[in-house]
Structure 1
Amino acid sequence: MQNTPPNALINETSPYLLQHAHNPVQWYPWGTEALDLAKEKDLPILVSIGYSACHWCHVMERESFESESTAAYMNQHFINIKIDREERPDLDHIYMDAVQAISGSGGWPLNVFLTPDAKPFYGGTYYPPEKAFNRPSWMDVLYSMSEYWKNRRNEVIEQAAGLMEHLQKGNNFAGKTMVDSGAEANFFSMEKCRLIADNILANAEKKAGGFGRAPKFLQTGSIQYLLQYALHSGDASYRDHALFSLTKMLQGGIYDQLGGGISRYSTDNEWLVPHFEKMLYDNALLTIALCDAYQLTGDDLFRDGIEHTLDFVLKDLKDSAGGFYTALDADSEGVEGKFYVWDQQEINELLGPDAAIFSEYYNVSEQGNWEENNILHVTERLENFAKTKEISANRLKDLLKINREKLLERRRERVPPGLDDKILLNCNGLLLTALCRAYASLQKVEYRVEAIELCQFIEKRLAGGNGSLLHTYKSGVAKYPAFLDDYAYYIQALIQLHEITGDASYLRLAERYLEFVLSNFSDDDDLLFYYTSKNQTDVIVRKTEVYDGATPSANAVMAHNLFYAGLVFNRAEWTARAGKMLLTMYNAIEKYPGSFANWAGVYLTQSAGVWEIALTGLNYEARLKEVLAEFLPNKLLQSSRGGDLEEFPLLAFKEITDETRIYVCRNYSCKAPVFSIAELRDIIKNKPIP
């Protein structure tokens, strides 16, 4: 409604907030202006939280927030605040927890009613304009909340107090250092790792891969755990479901068979019909899991998946400044999935004589497989399909590639989905790790270059004062203090960037940011970390997030970072804290590994033991590539051609010659150096760490 005078969102940079800047609702961004106004007018606050790729957020905007009569009531009876959940995940976490406590479920759009001092007392998700779907209408909800505030305020205050108590108790996972040290002696064991793997498989969906019932999310943390446990145990049964799941995802409609990239989740068990939004973090996490699968198997299906996914990211999500955008919307021209689906006639016209074999391979039909259209998907390995057609696999691969390009060219003429072009540090940190892992797996220099340039972008554009970082960047503006996951993912990525380059400056950066997190995200007696910095004052509670959600638990990643950096810099207090964090979380890890899969991965690494590998020599790069290509998820890898590296115990006092030496160590005690990747494999294969 561009003819409507803009509201207070017009000066924001978030694409989601700007989408609402011309609503007749007098939206405010979260900040002192709106919060002070609520107190001044003694009005309740409506906080509506969403994100630009959210389909039902757009639906509710069209139905309710663009309605003049609805907006008039909202403006009279509430102070209305819009929040982009990706810009302010801290606020989203708090108010999502409150709504889940009220209703037992959550989602977006998230609509929460607050007292003027920002304490929640009621909320829900999508509300229709008329009563439907066993939900009250939005106007009914607004009227009820306004009446409660005017006439039953004591009940509102009591409800808000109860929810605040619930939110405070939600931090009970935040273990203190009062952990029984005697319990640590036999804490790490491969038998416990097997139990965790069995519990993950207990929720496996055997028919089509993945875990649980629809809607089916990627759950790459569980997949990686199974692959890594299979490597350590030698039991292929754990590997098989993980590989099967990745295969089905890559073949399904959830994966864009033309342009690459995966959607957020599948609405069905078969991975056929996605919710069509594409998120940067999902594609980064999928790439990392595919790297594990490719290094373990050498299967070209996974290699192709890595390349096609990163092709999509580099082509469609990269900003000219060097960072990467957040998401592509599910909708085109207001219709979900319209950009991605095809009818048989259009394919016949475009592909001519190749249409028949193309349609058979991608399961295209006259009747369609979704709303009278076709979502391209594959049900058979290319090699097997080629055999049935009595043509070579290479010829079929070329034919399909040529015809995919024809469809892509036509698709570019369509109205594309909306682009959320803000750049988030947490998502870019995950992508930086993905680029490093892709370079290690495939040895494509392009990925190494992209990784280095992305790090340079982050250091240039997202650096805050006093060694801090900022969360989001758009149109030359960086803002909001970085959150725990921003730091955790970026530190993890810096470690990976050091491994693929041998450049020690990345480790020093990681150490600096780790020190910042220790000082600003936990109190002296804490084991776990708060999601927000101690300097952030506009939240009603500092939450400690421990679960994996769509992205890994930041606390789990911090446990990994502390353990790794503790070994690198010989900081025993860091490795000890990582172990105590795991001890605090272990019962949850074992019972609910699907929700704590990244914790489980850190536990597995420490249980299996770490191979400390040092490469030294004036020309170590060739050997480095060979080591990187190996599937060694429990390695610590450093390289040196000499210089001032005494700060790193693994590299200190190693002789530097023209010949590259490979030292394999544990607890800084190294075996005699070897000189080939075959000798390294022999040590790791035949002499496992006890």
Structure 2
Amino acid sequence: MPNRLADATSPYLQQHADNPVDWWPWGPEAFAEAERRGVPVLLSVGYAACHWCHVMAHESFEDDELAAYANERFVAVKVDREERPDVDAVYMEAVQAATGQGGWPMTVFLTPEKDPFYFGTYFPPEPRHGMPSFRQVLEGVDAAWRDRREEVGEVAGRIRADLARRASVYAVGGGVHRPPGEAELHEALVALGRDFDARRGGFGGAPKFPPAMVIEFLLRHHARTGSAAALEMAVRTAAAMARGGIHDQLGGGFARYAVDADWVVPHFEKMLYDNALLLRAYLHLWRATGSPLARRVALSTADFLLRELRTPEGAFASALDADSLDRESGASVEGAYYAWTPAQLAEVLGEADAAFAAELYEVTEAGTFEHGASVLQLLSDPRDDEAAERVRAALFAARAERPAPARDDKVVAAWNGLAVAALAETGALLERPDLVEAAERAADLLLAVHLTPDGRLLRTSRDGRAGANAGVLEDYADTAEGFLALYAVTGAAEWLQLAGGLLDTVLKHFADEASGALFDTADDAEELIRRPQDPTDNATPSGWTAAAGALLTYAAYTGSARHRTAAERALGIVGALATRAPRFIGWGLAVAEALVDGPREVAVVGPAGDSATAALHRAALLGTAPGVVVAVGEPTAVGGSAPVGGSGDWQGDWPGTGPEAAGVPLLADRPLVGGAPAAYVCRHFACEAPTTDPAVLAERLGAAER
């Protein structure tokens, strides 16, 4: 049997390369084989860090007898949802529509024409909890295919038609709504307040997912309006997560979600995208409040990214598994790497420090997890900081001796873009130049490996080798976001220019010209049963709203009406969803806050390496005005007159009307003031008088001294 997965760039596919199931990768060859043999396709979708994907693989896909049956009656196709989010999105929508729920592993049966006709997620090896066994499912689908082929075809046709109707909603309606204004943003805040868990933080009940994008909206709304309610929801949620079991109290970083409403017991997989988003959220919370807890969490999360997810090539791996080997049983157990018993604390620390650690981290004989083990929490500040750090370091060192979770070292362009943005900002604001360097190195890898000569992005790579999968909308949008953040921090204009190239591709290949709506795949991508499109957030910002944010920022730098208009049209769907589903369009709401506020544009001009230039630059980056755009560079020749003092609005030229500064229109025609570095703040086509005083600049941008 040929091993078709052995050379895959996806670790998830490689995990299944030696299964007795005769897996095919997604591609025309698999469906041609199904057509040739006259059999349906068994599509199995998962990802490397998925606990139940591993369980089903061990129970069913490694079973020789079951595999022989599947190989005889089906063409089996294995898909990594992180490599092919388009395939995953199309069939997950069908699963959710048919069953009312979804998840991974996702199991779908298709005709050779790719039409789905039977769905599910995890199936056990024996019937249990009302679920049929996987063998029963295979036999039932095979019987239907052989004996009721016409009925199967009718079902598949109805499902395809239903998906086509769903697709038309956003394509037609995306541009008919106006972007949300102040009233809609306030109503979104009120709606979030109804879902807010005031006692435990977060929104809704169990399971609880970290709402990084909603926190960003809340912080921006507070910055623009002064809303105490918005800030309280952000602070309480961030503090609850930081002190809960979802946060790795020893090594930093966050697990995917908490299975309970109290943030105690996590689903232990640790994803790059969650940690990149949360790093930025905690950094911005520190910027807004000065919270020592937020600062500590931001730095420990950044250190986790560098220590455990950075690849030898300088980019960032996708995830760490939830499971690892348990030393006592030898089995792969979820949470084995992270949980502790009182006896284990005593073995590492001795009696006195173990008692202190048990109190500090809420470790009890009953346990908060399984088999008397506890997930470490930090429900109150330690009474002795020195002892707490000694205990943490000792436990962290002891944990490093345990078998570590496996790492999915696939590099995803979108998630690396999020990491680039978060690390660049964190390095600049918390004075960690090593983090800025790490962001630059990851961005360099995206350029060298993921960006093709014709300016298109490839979604994944591994070991410095690009995969074959085309980038989707979130790859372009989040990579552009990372490059724009790098420009704001470093002043290197090539990052701005590269972001512009990616966004031009978005407008050319992903936008619906008639409505302003955005599709998840390019107009020249592989044709699926429908073209996926979704403006709502999932674990990451939707590609749609991420693109809107990057387009808005780029327009502020360049004065491009084309990019500004595209951003506003894309935000129309946010206006439609702001009050109905604010928890699921948090990033769109955050971008809308920037649009309502301006966003404010700051040009800092002065010699590189000058301490006065650096002070103004830092004050600008510390600004809390929603989506504030910061450019820094050398002064250029003046194309027109500009004031050198005074107060109030300066009705000067719109940036970019004179000679461009190193290709950055926002810096054009910005002279020094009295021979000193200066900052220019513009908003809504009007600019205030330039200032040489960082304190004045900070006041204009809502920044506090840090």
| TM-score category of the 2 structures, normalised to the smaller one | over 0.9
8 Å contact from structure 1 (residues 214, 266) kept in 2 = yes
Q: Distance in 2 between matches of 1:577 and 1:449?
A: 32
Query: Which is worse superposed, 497-506 or 576-585?
Result: 576-585
Change in Cα spacing, 1:570 to 1:609, as seen in structure 2 (3 Å) is closer
Counterpart amino acid of residue 560 in structure 2: R
Q: Deviations over 1:412-468 (max 9, x none)?
A: 221111111111111101111111221243121111111111111111121213111
* Match of residue 474 from structure 1: 462
State the one-letter code of the partner of 2:481: Q
Which of 242, 245, 249 is the aligned partner of 2:237? Answer: 245
The SS at the match of 2:578 is helix
Aligned: 1:104 with 2:100: yes
- What is the CA deviation profile of residues 112-156 of structure 1, one whole-angstrom value per residue up to 9, with x for unaligned ones? 000011111111000111111211111111111111111111111
Give the conservation status (yes or no) of the 8 Å contact 1:272–1:375: no
Contact between 1:173 and 1:546, CA under 8 Å: does it hold in 2?
no
Matches within 5 A, 1:479-628: 479=467, 480-618=469-607, 619=610, 620-628=613-621
Distance 2:426 2:387 in 1: 27
Residue 643 of structure 2 corresponds to: none
Residues 668 and 272 of structure 1, relative CA distance in 2, 3 Å threshold: same
Q: How far apart are residue 349 of structure 1 and its match?
A: 2.1
What secondary structure does 2:582 align onto? coil
What's the CA shift for 1:175? 4.2
Amino acid at match of 1:677: P
What one-letter code is carried by the residue in structure 2 that aligns with 1:363? Answer: E
Structure 2: unaligned runs, 5 residues or longer: 326-331, 637-658
CA distance in 2: counterparts of 1:412 and 1:6, whole angstroms: 38
SS, match of residue 584 in structure 2: coil
| Equivalent-residue separation in structure 1 for 2:623 and 2:357 (angstroms) | 36
Aligned-pair CA distance for 1:656 = 4.0
CA contact (8 A) 1:614 1:651 kept: yes
The equivalent residue for 2:271 is 279
- 1: CA distance between counterparts of 2:98 and 2:417? 34
Distance across 2 between alignment mates of 1:300 and 1:626: 19
Q: Distance in 1 between matches of 2:174 and 2:388?
A: 61
Q: Does the 8 Å CA contact 1:326/1:422 hold for their aligned counterparts?
A: yes
Q: Does 1:655 align with 2:671?
A: yes
C-alpha contact (below 8 Å) 1:440/1:629 kept by paired residues: no
Aligned to 2:648: none
- 1:432 equivalent to 2:420? Answer yes
Please state how far the C-alpha of 1:682 moved relative to its aligned partner.
3.6
3-state SS, counterpart of residue 639 of structure 1: strand
Give the Cα separation in 1 of the matches to 2:174 and 2:346: 69
- In the alignment, the residues of structure 1 paired with residue 566 and residue 30 of structure 2 have an alpha-carbon distance, to the nearest angstrom, of 41
Give runs of aligned pairs for residues 71-82 of structure 1, distance below 5 A.
71-82=67-78
Whether the 8 Å CA contact 1:498–1:638 is kept in 2: the answer is yes
Equivalent residues of 2:224, 2:625 under 8 A apart: no
Residues 461 and 685 (structure 1), Cα distance of their counterparts in 2 relative to 1, 3 Å cut: closer
| 1:429-468 paired onto structure 2 within 5 Å | 429-468=417-456
**Distance (Å, rounded) in 2 between the aligned partners of 1:206 and 1:178:** 34
Counterpart for residue 645 of structure 1: 660
Q: How does 1:349-388 map to 2 (within 5 A)?
A: 349-352=347-350, 353-382=352-381, 385-386=382-383
Give 3-state SS (helix, strand or coil) of 1:10's partner. Answer: coil
Matched with 1:673 is 690
Give the match for residue 393 of structure 1: none
Q: CA deviation at 1:593?
A: 0.5
Q: Counterpart of 1:38?
A: 34
Deviations 1:67-107 (A, max 9, x none): 11111110010000011111111101011111111111110
* One-letter amino acid matched to 1:19: Q
1:179 shift after superposition: 5.2
In 2, distance between residues paired with 1:663 and 1:287? 29
Contact 1:612-1:666 within 8 A present in 2 as well:
yes
Contact 2:272 2:318 in 1 (8 A): yes
Match of 1:226 among 194, 204, 218: 218
Q: Give 1:407 shift.
A: 1.6
8 Å contact from structure 2 (residues 368, 375) kept in 1: no
What is the CA–CA distance in structure 1 between the aligned matches of 2:570 and 2:27, rounded to whole Å? Answer: 34
Of stretches 306-315 and 664-673 in structure 1, the one that deviates more from structure 2 is 664-673
Give the C-alpha shift of residue 241 in structure 1.
1.8
The structure 1 residue matched to 2:252, chosen from 254, 260, 263, is 260
Cα distance between partner residues in 2 of 1:678 and 1:522: 42
Shift of 1:565: 1.7
Q: Taking structure 1 as reference, are residues 216 and 447 closer, same or farther at Cα in structure 2, changes over 3 Å only?
A: same
Residue segments in structure 1 that go unaligned for 5+ positions in a row: 387-395
Q: Which residue of 1 aligns with 2:131?
A: 135
Q: Tell me the C-alpha RMSD between the 2 structures.
A: 1.9
Amino acid at match of 1:524: E
Deviations 1:280-299 (CA, angstroms, capped at 9, x unpaired): 10101111110111001111
Letter in 1 for 2:336: K
CA distance in structure 1 between the partners assigned to 2:27 and 2:191 by the alignment:
44
TM superposition score normalised by structure 2: 0.91
| 1:95 lines up with 2:91 in the alignment | yes
Matched, 1:11 2:7: yes
Contact 1:294 1:441 in 2 (8 A): no
- Cα distance, 1:275 vs structure 2: 0.5
Distance 2:464 2:182 in 1: 49
Give, in whole Å, the separation in 1 of the partners of 2:294 and 2:495. Answer: 29
Q: Whole-Å Cα distance in 2 between the matches of residues 208 and 349 of structure 1?
A: 33
TM-score if structure 1 supplies the norm length?
A: 0.93
Q: How far apart, CA to CA, are the structure 2 residues paired with 1:63 and 1:251? A: 36
**Aligned partner letter, 2:632:** S
- CA 1:376–1:188 in structure 2 vs 1: closer, same or farther (change >3 Å)? closer
Superposition pairs of residues 291-306 of structure 1, within 5 angstroms: 291-306=283-298
Equivalent residues of 2:213, 2:541 under 8 A apart: yes
Rate the CA distance shift 1:233–1:253 in 2: closer, same or farther, 3 A.
same
Aligned-partner residue type, residue 474 of structure 1 = R
SS in 1 for 2:167: coil
**Paired position in structure 2 for 1:392:** none
Query: Is contact 1:462–1:470 with CA below 8 Å preserved after alignment?
Result: yes
Corresponding position: 1:340 with 2:338: yes
- SS of 1:377's equivalent? coil
What is the CA deviation profile of residues 594-627 of structure 1, one whole-angstrom value per residue up to 9, with x for unaligned ones? 1111111122221233211111111322321222
CA contact (8 A) 2:24 2:78 kept: yes
Code of the residue aligned with 1:336 in structure 2: it is E
Instruction: From the superposition, tell whether residues 65 and 522 of structure 1 become closer, same or farther in structure 2 (CA, over 3 Å).
Output: same
Distance 2:197 2:272 in 1: 26
Higher mean Cα deviation, 581-590 or 505-514? 581-590
Residues 531 and 543, structure 1, Cα contact 8 Å, conserved in 2: yes
Deviation at 1:379, TM superposition (A): 4.8
Q: Secondary structure at the match of 2:186?
A: helix
Residue aligning to 1:216: 208
d(CA) in 1 for partners of 2:275, 2:173: 37
Q: Which of 620, 626, 633 does residue 626 from structure 2 map onto?
A: 633
Q: Distance in 2 between matches of 1:271 and 1:49?
A: 28
- State the distance in 2 between where 1:276 and 1:111 align: 23
Aligned to 1:288: 280
1:260/1:682 CA distance change after superposition, 3 Å: closer
> Is residue 27–residue 80 contact of structure 1 (8 Å, CA) maintained in 2?
yes
Distance apart, 1:53 and its partner CA: 0.6
Aligned to 2:653: none
